[in-house]
Structure 1
Amino acid sequence: MEHDTIAAISTAVGEGGIAIIRISGPDAISSTDRIFKSSKRLSEADSHTIHYGHIINPESGESLDEVLVTLMRGPKSFTAEDVVEINTHGGVIAVKKVMDAVLQLNAVRVAEPGEFTKRAFINGRIDLMQAEAVIDLIRSKSDRAFSVAKKQAEGVLSRKIKALRQTVIELLAHIEVNIDYPEHDVEELTAAFIEEQCTKAIAEINKLLKTASEGKILREGIMTAIVGRPNVGKSSLLNVLAQENKAIVTDIPGTTRDVIEQIVTINGIPLRLLDTAGIRETSDIVEQIGVERSRDVLQEADLILYVLNYNEQLQPEDKLLLEGMKGRSVIVIVNKTDLEQKLDLTEVEAILDRSVIVQMSMLEEKGLEELENKISELFFEGQLESDDLTYISNVRHIALLKKARQSLQDAIEASQAGVPIDIIQIDGRMAWEALGEILGDEAGDSLIDQIFSQFCLGK
């Protein structure tokens, strides 16, 4: 199957100016020639050229659409194979007609999800880490996340992992020499040498893992629950942050009955905002379900925005909820500061630190900048480093880096305990293999299939 010629629609389904059908494999050019009517056959054309013509029905000869066809001969293509991309008119019918014509050719089959990128990996054009970055590029929720994914796709992190593997392989080479040629006069492999090499690699791994939490946030966003009693301004906060009327806002308590989700970007940080139903005791069955869902979201959230009313006294249920938030990432938003003050802020400060309180007026859109700064300080110590895009964000990569680090630490401890070097070699090899699995060098077929199955069709 890896040598089949594959095809798929690479653009989103729906109306648009153009749609692109990508064909890759040994028969991509010859097969397209059978349905593409132009002044010149693709098989006679130079690579990386664009040709005007029409796609025809291979059986009836009927013209189906006016198109532009891009020709890219392997290995200088995304998949490192011969690739043809048909630029047809956008719209469901036009694309379907052209795709049907492509598939009428017995030499072409429909591509599986992610199969084009998988072929790029199998053919050695990119490593597995770069391939996974392609998913992150597609799913990026902010400019910053896109930039990080772009650097990973370009191989910035891959080069760091390869350098780490080189450090480990140098250690293994020294061990191998001492095991295979003990009679030769080679540099004695001491505990100090093992510790030096392993410590060097561990330090580099720690640098990468230090960025893991920030990288995960950039990749997935901060799950942010907007919580509070009914009618304190939770939905208004969602609308202000999203800069659109996503949630219904009324003076009637209990308007929000379910969790509303919206993704926004604040200071380059993606937030998955979850506007919850007001938490209170209620006899309304529907509202009870909404309140229960709100409590579930509250437990799972990375960040809690707890909204209070400047015009109301602190209620017993507020105190109970605030007490339960100690030790969590929480920002208390005191809303409606345009009204008369009835809330005793010292009561709130007695429960939580003053630094997490932000006074706002959703009506006048005051305090928004302070809130954005608080979120940045809470998760990124104020701001993201503009010149450093080497964030580790993939859970698989993080787990394998930790595995490699543990193996190297085990090697240090074994050496200090006087364990024979052939046993220490096992720890070193485990670290080398874990790093190789990040790049795909040591990854099994099932893992590779699982990773590429997450891609959209046509990528």
Structure 2
Amino acid sequence: MSDTIVAIATAPGEAGIGIVRLSGGESLEILDKIFVPTRGESIKEYKPRRLTHGKIIDPKTNQIIDEVLVTYMKAPYTYTAEDVVEINCHGGIVPVRKILELVLRCGARMAERGEFTKRAFLNGRIDLAQAEAVMDLISAKTDKSFDVAFGQLEGSLSKEVKNIRESILEMMAHITVNIDFPDEDIEEITYKELQDSANSIYERIEGLLESAQTGKIIKEGLHTVIIGKPNVGKSSLMNALLKESRAIVTEVPGTTRDIIEEFVSIKGIPLKIVDTAGIRETEDIVEKIGVERSKEFFNKADLVIFVLNASEPLTDEDKQIMELLKNRQTIILMNKTDLPMVLDEENIRKILPNKKIIKISVLEGKGLKELEDTIVEMVYGGEVRQKEVSFVTNVRHKDALERAKTSIQEGIEAIRQGLPLDFVEVDVRNCWEALGEITGDTVGEDVIDKIFANFCLGK
């Protein structure tokens, strides 16, 4: 990592400020070739973490490129733990591009995707889980997903994983001593002590895994589909949740013929909510395509919101949809309760006995708060939300935890059967190494490259 890298750190397009970021041992020297401070300071007088005003000038033509503010940050107290320079120029495609081209011409190379964060990891400033949290922070869609990502960036998950690994390491040390020095005057570890330690490790790993489903939803959103026959109020419900008129609402059945997708935050939980075409038999070719797409989204959904018209009895169309819901996470809404009630709740429970049923009137805004509370309760499972837990939001982390859990389970079984300590040691070490993949302590270079390839340029 002796070379100096550069990238545009701000989003493309017109803006008040554009930032060109350099990192590496030659950052200051490259800056000195193109930057003329207003007060005429020499390169040795640049004070770290202070803005210096001046102009970027092409050294070949002496042409002024832009008026800028420059920040020099001295290693190791920087994002990458290397010397870093940030050039704050006028926002816009042209000035930023011109300065980037000038920096490249003066000796820097274009940064790869995520290379600034990769250098922070390789230089030991952050671990791999913290590095991955950077992208989660950038892509956070709600306050809650931001808080979880920021907690991971601060090391909440890493700390818990490292604590578990330390417990495993202590266990491995006892096992190794008893294997390597059986005849020495060393306190012999008992299988009961081993089992207690292994069970404790298993429970801590299981605790992290229990947060994975909630963590995945917080990060990616709860894929929610609104279904029902035509004209029961699906589009009105979506508009009410979004608090805007996104879907067309009319008295004519079959108005929604395509899929409408939007993100909405329900008390910090991102919902990727889909308003579908009403499911019914139809001869209209366009509506028929919409119905088929509705069924596709239904099959992929994490949560189904099934809307019924409370002012009508159950129809055959309703019952056909209900048959599809028996094994799905579902909330049933009896809408239009502002009209005379005809639909009998008991008839719904005969077909779907264990589903949550909420009586609402989208027109009058009744029942919407209860719907939101129910969604929150389903996501957090009642208990998880109230605990101070490190949510697992990353598929790679979950996979590593699953393998760690399997290994410690096999170790517990080996202990239970009284197998030689050599067998136990292999399983315990496998668990320790799997957990190390989360923080990057035991991960291969190919995995590291793959992770940072998903980052944006300039980060």
Distance in 1 (alpha carbons) for counterparts of 2:278 and 2:219: 29
Per the alignment, residue 23 of structure 1 pairs with 22
8 Å Cα contact 2:14-2:91 kept in structure 1: yes
Per the alignment, residue 98 of structure 1 pairs with 99
Which amino acid counterpart does residue 372 of structure 2 have in structure 1? E
Per the alignment, residue 119 of structure 1 pairs with 119
Per the alignment, residue 307 of structure 2 pairs with 307
8 Å Cα contact 2:211-2:384 kept in structure 1: no
Q: What is the DSSP-based 3-state SS (H/G/I as helix, E as strand, rest coil) of the residue aligned with 2:443?
A: coil
Distance in 2 (alpha carbons) for counterparts of 1:176 and 1:386: 40
Which amino acid counterpart does residue 27 of structure 1 have in structure 2? E
Identity of aligned residues (%): 50
8 Å Cα contact 2:263-2:272 kept in structure 1: yes
Which amino acid counterpart does residue 60 of structure 2 have in structure 1? E
Which amino acid counterpart does residue 76 of structure 2 have in structure 1? P
Moved more, 404-413 or 124-133: 404-413
Shift of 1:207: 1.9
Matched, 1:328 2:328: yes
Distance in 1 (alpha carbons) for counterparts of 2:364 and 2:55: 58
Structure 2 length-normalised TM: 0.95
Per the alignment, residue 289 of structure 1 pairs with 289
Distance in 2 (alpha carbons) for counterparts of 1:207 and 1:365: 39
Q: How does 1:26-425 map to 2 (within 5 A)?
A: 26-38=25-37, 39=39, 40-105=41-106, 107-353=107-353, 356-382=356-382, 385=385, 388-425=388-425
Distance in 1 (alpha carbons) for counterparts of 2:432 and 2:196: 16
Distance in 2 (alpha carbons) for counterparts of 1:321 and 1:303: 15
When the two chains are superposed, the root-mean-square deviation of aligned CA atoms in Å is 1.8
Structure 2, unaligned stretches of length 5 or more?
none
Distance in 1 (alpha carbons) for counterparts of 2:198 and 2:218: 30
Distance in 2 (alpha carbons) for counterparts of 1:180 and 1:126: 36
Shift of 1:231: 2.1
1:184-221 deviations in Å (ceiling 9; x for gaps) = 11111321122122112112112222222211111111
Which amino acid counterpart does residue 61 of structure 1 have in structure 2? N
Per the alignment, residue 11 of structure 1 pairs with 10
Q: What is the DSSP-based 3-state SS (H/G/I as helix, E as strand, rest coil) of the residue aligned with 1:34?
A: helix
8 Å Cα contact 1:58-1:101 kept in structure 2: no
Which amino acid counterpart does residue 34 of structure 1 have in structure 2? K
Distance in 1 (alpha carbons) for counterparts of 2:165 and 2:354: 47
Shift of 1:129: 0.7
Which amino acid counterpart does residue 85 of structure 1 have in structure 2? E
Per the alignment, residue 427 of structure 1 pairs with 427
Distance in 1 (alpha carbons) for counterparts of 2:197 and 2:10: 48
Q: What is the DSSP-based 3-state SS (H/G/I as helix, E as strand, rest coil) of the residue aligned with 1:385?
A: helix
Q: What is the DSSP-based 3-state SS (H/G/I as helix, E as strand, rest coil) of the residue aligned with 1:435?
A: helix
Moved more, 209-218 or 73-82: 209-218
8 Å Cα contact 1:225-1:298 kept in structure 2: yes
Q: What is the DSSP-based 3-state SS (H/G/I as helix, E as strand, rest coil) of the residue aligned with 2:385?
A: coil
Shift of 1:31: 0.7
Distance in 1 (alpha carbons) for counterparts of 2:44 and 2:287: 66
Distance in 1 (alpha carbons) for counterparts of 2:2 and 2:130: 22
Which amino acid counterpart does residue 14 of structure 1 have in structure 2? G
Structure 1, unaligned stretches of length 5 or more?
none
Shift of 1:255: 2.3
Shift of 1:367: 1.7
Q: What is the DSSP-based 3-state SS (H/G/I as helix, E as strand, rest coil) of the residue aligned with 1:326?
A: coil
* Structure 1 pair 77–378 and aligned structure 2 pair: CA distance change class (3 A): same
Distance in 1 (alpha carbons) for counterparts of 2:255 and 2:95: 45
8 Å Cα contact 1:9-1:20 kept in structure 2: yes
Shift of 1:417: 2.0
Shift of 1:354: 7.7
Distance in 1 (alpha carbons) for counterparts of 2:4 and 2:226: 50
Distance in 2 (alpha carbons) for counterparts of 1:76 and 1:170: 33
1:10-34 deviations in Å (ceiling 9; x for gaps) = 1111222212111111111111121
Shift of 1:383: 7.6
Distance in 1 (alpha carbons) for counterparts of 2:210 and 2:150: 20
Distance in 1 (alpha carbons) for counterparts of 2:171 and 2:18: 52
Q: What is the DSSP-based 3-state SS (H/G/I as helix, E as strand, rest coil) of the residue aligned with 1:258?
A: coil
1:334-368 deviations in Å (ceiling 9; x for gaps) = 22223343433332232224862222222222221
* Structure 1 pair 176–355 and aligned structure 2 pair: CA distance change class (3 A): closer
* Structure 1 pair 171–387 and aligned structure 2 pair: CA distance change class (3 A): closer
8 Å Cα contact 1:67-1:86 kept in structure 2: yes
Moved more, 60-69 or 346-355: 346-355
Shift of 1:257: 2.2
Shift of 1:3: 2.7
* Structure 1 pair 307–97 and aligned structure 2 pair: CA distance change class (3 A): same
Which amino acid counterpart does residue 442 of structure 1 have in structure 2? T
* Structure 1 pair 387–32 and aligned structure 2 pair: CA distance change class (3 A): farther
Shift of 1:409: 1.8
1:126-184 deviations in Å (ceiling 9; x for gaps) = 00011111111111121111111111101121111111111111111112212222221
Structure 1 length-normalised TM: 0.95
